[in-house]
Amino acid sequence: MTHVITQTCCNDATCVPACPVNCIHPTPDEPDYATAEMLYIDPDGCIDCGACIDVCPVNAIYPDYELPDHLAPFTDLNSAYFEAPQRRDYEPVHPPRHTPTVPPSDEPLRVAVVGSGPAGLYAAEELLGIRSAGIKVDVIEKLPVPGGLVRYGVAPDHQSTKTVWNQLARTMGKPGFRLLANVEVGRDINHEDLATRYHAVVYANGADADKCLGIPGEDMPGSHSAGELVGWYNGHPDFAELRFDFSNERVVVLGNGNVAVDIARVLLSSVDDLRRTDISATALAQIAESQVREVVIVGRRGVAEAAFTTAELLGLARVEGLSISSEVDELSAEGSLSDVVASRFTTAPQKNRLLHELSARATSDSKMVSFRFLHSPIEIVGNDRVAGVRLARNEMVREGTAVVARPTGDVEEIKCGMVVRSLGFQGRPIGSLPFDAQRSVLPTREGRVLSSGGDPIAGVYAAGWIKRGPSGVIGTNKACAIETVRALLDDYAAAKLTPPAVGGDLLDLVSPAVDVAGWRAIDSRERSTGKAEGRPRTKMTSVTSMLEAASIHHRS
Ligand code: FAD
Ligand code: NAP
């Protein structure tokens, strides 16, 4: 008997300390953690106590004897991680958690956190966890509602993943927490407004800018970024009113990360299934009229380097009425299961095997997700709107420690009515703060933002995607935020933080902002409208309606 971690694993590692025998790995202090697709339970170590089930924020863990049939492949996926003998060689106890000392002071430590996604709320949770210190945390959010990509990124049919929100939202009820939503740094206030009113500012504002391909036709009507499409189906106010042309049977998604898989699943799921989610009503109506029957997902490298995870491929394979196909020569010819990739734990062999099995089962009378590998887009073609994509065939070659794609000279064209560029995201510069334009992040060391000379700028920190770049699942941001908060508290203890120079409250500058009570009013209205429609919530998609529900009058 063992317990098994399944698809919705958010990697926040809450389960790790709960396990009395330390059999959940990789732990945040192990090297594999940063790149792990998910966490795994060692079947030989598990004592079946169920402690992990109680703490898992996304209900991802089952005893193997209760594992639903559709999640059965996760048993092998969990045990595969421990096949290498060194992965069994773990210490049975965890090092004690280091809690920095916060010196007693008449004036409480005041911290502004910019962004209310996972990184911002994990940072707030860590700061407010030192109960005796009386720390005050103001979380500033540009949208009228908190949650970041948990609300506006995670796919609507991943409701189980969205339950992580219950845990994140609990932080908003802690003494010392304040939400100032509908306030944008760079629009309503600037960094100096924060730096002069708080001991420290933590930037946790994510990475929401699109990446460009730089190929002809990229901006043609019918060519969209994943950010637009995901924002649209999730009811983000900036995208909710967009219209997409689903009149052609085929959509091509460029890039093969988990976002590409989300998009394929949402576009091809049955409308009845989507109706039971919190997908935006406008998106649901447009998808109901959709003629799309095939989504082609194109990756420039081979299967071994594919960015989507095996867990998400298994999830896609469970969608009713959907076949998954790939070109067998692309699965086997790439030869890229090289030792470069295999030197760290990878589920690439399982992914490859699964794609072979799924392709063998695919039937042409169902909707289809076609995975293409080893092809780079070189042009989006069409006269006045998208009619296809030209792809150049690649072979994999090693460059130092990296496996990169090199064109072979072969070119093919895939006809389609819409192209989605799902290439990952980028951070944006913040005012005059230093910015690493190559990685599109704030330059940091252990969460401290660095000046152009490489020294920490006193009182300025970063966490989450704006610190690490746009990769990692929700829980990855927890360890990241904890590292940042520890640096901040160490600096405070070492008297490196300047007390606020300007008296008065930030609210004097930005009032009215949506506070926690305002958010609860929005949340409650969305849930009650949703309940009447048999849905978890019906999202409000305009800023005006959200502010009205929060009883806030729009700032001009
Ligand atoms: P974000 O979540 O982006 O939060 C940043 C916040 O800052 C936002 O609320 C934003 O509005 C706010 N902000 C930005 N600029 C400003 C400003 N100037 N002033 C004030 N506020 C500002 N992970 C999973 O585990 N499971 C999933 O199913 C999953 N699905 C995903 C789907 C998509 C489409 C994407 C893109 C990612 C997904 N992830 C998923 C990854 C996960 O969402 C990220 O790891 C996580 O959200 C990053 O957290 P963050 O706090 O750094 O950024
Ligand atoms: P991603 O995982 O970084 O994938 C980006 C894809 O775009 C890769 O296939 C990449 O190929 C490709 N790409 C980038 N530039 C390209 C170019 N110029 N030409 C061709 N292809 C290009 O990004 P993502 O899918 O946006 O996901 C972001 C993060 O969120 C990931 O960590 C992901 O796991 C997480 N997420 C998780 C879930 C979930 O758990 N369910 C869901 C969604 C997102 P290369 O690999 O060759 O660079």
What's the pLDDT tens digit per position in 207-237?
A: 999 999 999 999 999 999 999 999 999 999 9
Q: Which atom of ligand 1 is nearest to the CA of 140?
A: 20
Q: How far is the CA of 346 from the centre of ligand 2 (A)?
A: 16
Q: Pick the residue whose CA is nearest to atom 15 on ligand 1.
A: 205
Please work out whether the CB of residue 237 comes within 6 Å of at least one atom of ligand 2: no
Position 115, amino acid? G
Taken as a whole, the chain contains a residue count of: 556
pLDDT higher than 80, residue 517: yes
Q: Is 140 in the pocket of ligand 1 (CB under 6 A)?
A: yes
Q: Is the pLDDT of residue 193 over 80?
A: yes
Q: Which ligand is nearest to the CA of 117?
A: 1
Mutate to test the pocket of ligand 2, among 152, 224, 258 (most ligand atoms within 8 A of CB): 258
Cβ–ligand 2 distance for 299 under 6 Å, the answer yes
Looking at residue 193, the DSSP 8-state letter turns out to be: H
**CB neighbourhood size of 153 (10 A):** 22
Query: What pLDDT does 98 receive?
Result: 56
Whether ligand 2 lies within 6 angstroms of the CB of 307 is answered as yes
Give residue 551 CA to ligand 2 midpoint distance, Å: 39
Mean residue pLDDT of the chain comes to 92
By mean pLDDT, which of 101-115, 264-278, 481-495, 505-519 is the weakest? 101-115
Query: Which DSSP category does 384 fall into?
Result: S
- The reported pLDDT for the residue numbered 428 is 97
Confidence at 95, pLDDT banded by 50, 70, 90? very low
Residue 137 has a CB neighbour count (10 Å cut-off) of 26
Kindly state the DSSP code that residue 451 receives in the 8-state scheme: P
- The pLDDT assigned to 48 comes to 81
Of the given ranges (19-33, 57-71, 339-353), which has the lowest mean pLDDT?
A: 339-353
Highest mean pLDDT among 21-30, 32-41, 379-388: 379-388
The confidence score (pLDDT) of residue 20 equals 80
**Mean pLDDT throughout 478-485?**
93
Of the listed ranges 46-55, 97-106, 377-386, 425-434, the least confidently predicted one is 97-106
| pLDDT per position as a tens digit, 361-406 | 999 889 999 999 999 999 999 999 999 999 999 998 888 777 788 9
Output the six-digit token pair for 352. 């490859």
Give per-residue pLDDT as tens, 300-340: 999 988 999 999 999 999 999 999 999 988 987 545 545 44
Which is it for strands 200-203 and 110-114: parallel, antiparallel or unpaired?
parallel
Q: How confident is the model at residue 34 (pLDDT cuts 50, 70, 90)?
A: confident
Structure confidence at residue 133 as a pLDDT band (50, 70, 90): confident
Distance 351 CA to ligand 2 centre (A): 16
Q: Are 66 and 74 in contact (CB under 8 A)?
A: no
Buried-state track 278-288, b at ≥16 Cβ within 10 A, e below 16 = bbbbbbbebbe
* Ligand 2 pocket member 146 (CB < 6 A): no
Give the atom of ligand 1 at the shortest distance from the alpha carbon of 146: 9
Cα separation of 498 and 500, whole Å? Answer: 6
Q: First and final CA of the chain: distance in angstroms? A: 61
Q: Of all helices (H) and strands (E), which one includes residue 17?
A: helix 15-18
* pLDDT score, position 347: 80
Contact between 42 and 91 under an 8 Å Cβ cutoff? The reply is: no
What is the 520 CA–ligand 1 centroid distance (Å)? 20
Looking at all shown ligands, the one closest to residue 405's CA atom is: 2
Best CA proximity match to 73, nearest among 309, 252, 239, 315: 315
The 3-state DSSP class for residue 103 equals: coil
| Residue 480: pLDDT band with limits 50, 70, 90 | very high
pTM of the predicted model over 0.85: yes
Q: Tell whether ligand 1 has an atom less than 6 A from the beta carbon of residue 28.
A: no
